[in-house]
Chains A and B, each alone.
Chain A
């Protein structure tokens, strides 16, 4: 039994969810190799070699992997899985992993098991369905298990302590199917949403992009990442990458502050495993209060500035 973990990285460093994915691989057992496929990704490959418990890092570098397109990355992964005889292929359930892994699974003619949160055994896993309202335990009969891992289900593997060898290997050529031609990445001074210790999220109640500055000020005090409900994103108050929920990002910080968010199940799906939840909402009946540890009923335009000030 051996596992190939597909690293999500930006060539320079590994995305945090990669470490949680290694932790899931450790629960499965057997040798763990990490594949770093990119363009000029030496630093990311080095970082992977330091993760505790890794036997080997495979590094594939090529200009056509610069965009991390699913077509080219899957074409690299599949022959490595076949020749390496891996029984498990794991990637984090990030935008990258979700895009690439089903393509890998279909090329291998196996099912994919999406967003596992528990490893029960080498072939049995728990995953949330129906916006997290239900947890399903599923067993795979396929010879190769292709899996995406929900980072919040596993404590990150240690980033240091390992000294795996880095093996540079050649990868599949450019498929020529897809090309990344542009990026509009949202710039923020705030920490990254899915790995932050504190998250401040705003909903439709915040009312405008301008008003989100109130939340920014609070987030700055708390050294928090910024998040949002779908309604706030749809209304254009904040960029799409702020969305927390069933079809957005899944977060489980130590502290989640929900401001002007009603608490629809699709939103709760993305944050209900947070350690402590604070809700600020003027409607005492808002469903968000049912899951909040500390609910404060009132006008956010009063409360948020007061709270920011009180945090000195």
Chain B
């Protein structure tokens, strides 16, 4: 079966982001960009399904600037077979991405689409669920284990109280949580091989999707800094301070 994986280019998780002086957004110029960490996990899961003989082809899809090609190359180096870039300068919001992915799904007809649970820039946690809704497919969100057999998927999900197991029919959407797997690193030979793998570019217009943003960001600010840095010498002082100063015990 064919597996589609959605990968987003985001500010690397190690970067301390800064607000632009005019408060219009986050400064992403000259900042290290990477594949969203959850999407690395999504790719890894697809590769493991292929190694098990369940997936036959892995297609990586990214939506956004031309620079997303880098992210897609990373996906190809990690084991995707080919890539699709949906190129646009428009600031894409989850509903727009879900619609673009819906259009790609209509063309590619995968049996499974794996996304990350959350992009670490917008922290939206929406796209997979929205895509599932648009397609009328079941959703296995926050997956920490995927088993596929007989046209069905059994998904272990991370929920507030622990873990939950669901059974869903295919085709389906799965979103990857942190404990689904530990992604491998791209090896040098695989990075070289990735350069020759096919990458196709399409536009939202060609897919017939209106990506006009629904939300306008009026301003962004840094939250008030917490005044920390206080130290105590020992347990006795800590207990005294918690009792008499903070009055929390």
Name A's B-contacting residues (CB within 8 A).
Answer: 15, 67, 69-71, 74, 94-96, 98-107, 109-115, 124, 128-142, 177-186, 194, 198, 222, 230, 233-234, 239-241, 246-247, 249, 254-255, 265-266, 272, 275-278, 289-297, 303, 306-307, 310-311
Nearest CB on A from B118, distance (A): 6
Q: Which residue from chain B places its CB closest to the CB of A69 in the assembled complex?
A: B166
Give the dominant DSSP class at B's interface. Answer: mixed
A-B contact pairs, 14 of them (CB 8 A): A96-B160, A98-B125, A102-B128, A103-B139, A114-B123, A129-B26, A137-B218, A233-B179, A240-B162, A277-B228, A289-B231, A294-B238, A296-B231, A296-B235
**Residues from 121 to 172 in B contacting A, C-beta threshold 8 Å:** 121-134, 137-142, 144, 154, 158-169
Contact: B98 with A106, CB < 8 Å? yes
Known contacts A105-B126, A112-B126, A240-B162; is A289 also within 8 Å of B228 by CB? Answer: yes
Residues of B within 8 A of A110 (CB): 95, 214
Nearest CB on A from B210, distance (A): 11
Contact: A134 with B228, CB < 8 Å? no
Residues of B within 8 A of A222 (CB): 249
Query: Interface code B3-24, partner A: CB below 8 Å = 1, 0 otherwise?
Result: 0000000010100110100000
Assembly CA distance A246 to B118 (angstroms): 10
Assembly CA distance A301 to B223 (angstroms): 34
Assembly CA distance A73 to B18 (angstroms): 39
Nearest CB on A from B120, distance (A): 7
Nearest CB on B from A212, distance (A): 16
Q: Which residue from chain B places its CB closest to the CB of A256 in the assembled complex?
A: B248
Nearest CB on B from A98, distance (A): 5
Residues of A within 8 A of B164 (CB): 180, 182-184
The answer, yes or no, to whether B53 is at the interface (CB within 8 Å) is no
- Contact check: which of A142, A247, A310 meets B178 at CB < 8 Å? A247
Assembly CA distance A306 to B239 (angstroms): 11
Contact: B17 with A130, CB < 8 Å? yes
Assembly CA distance A249 to B142 (angstroms): 13
Contact: B235 with A71, CB < 8 Å? no
- Contact check: which of B129, B137, B165, B179 meets A180 at CB < 8 Å? B165
**Residues from 220 to 249 in B contacting A, C-beta threshold 8 Å:** 220-223, 226, 228-232, 234-236, 238-239, 241-242, 246, 248-249
Q: Which residue from chain A places its CB closest to the CB of B241 in the assembled complex?
A: A294
The answer, yes or no, to whether B79 is at the interface (CB within 8 Å) is no
- Contact check: which of A104, A178, A194 meets B139 at CB < 8 Å? A178
The answer, yes or no, to whether B187 is at the interface (CB within 8 Å) is no
Nearest CB on B from A5, distance (A): 18
Contact: A239 with B162, CB < 8 Å? yes
- Contact check: which of A71, A178, A293 meets B228 at CB < 8 Å? A293
Contact: B229 with A292, CB < 8 Å? yes
Residues of A within 8 A of B29 (CB): none
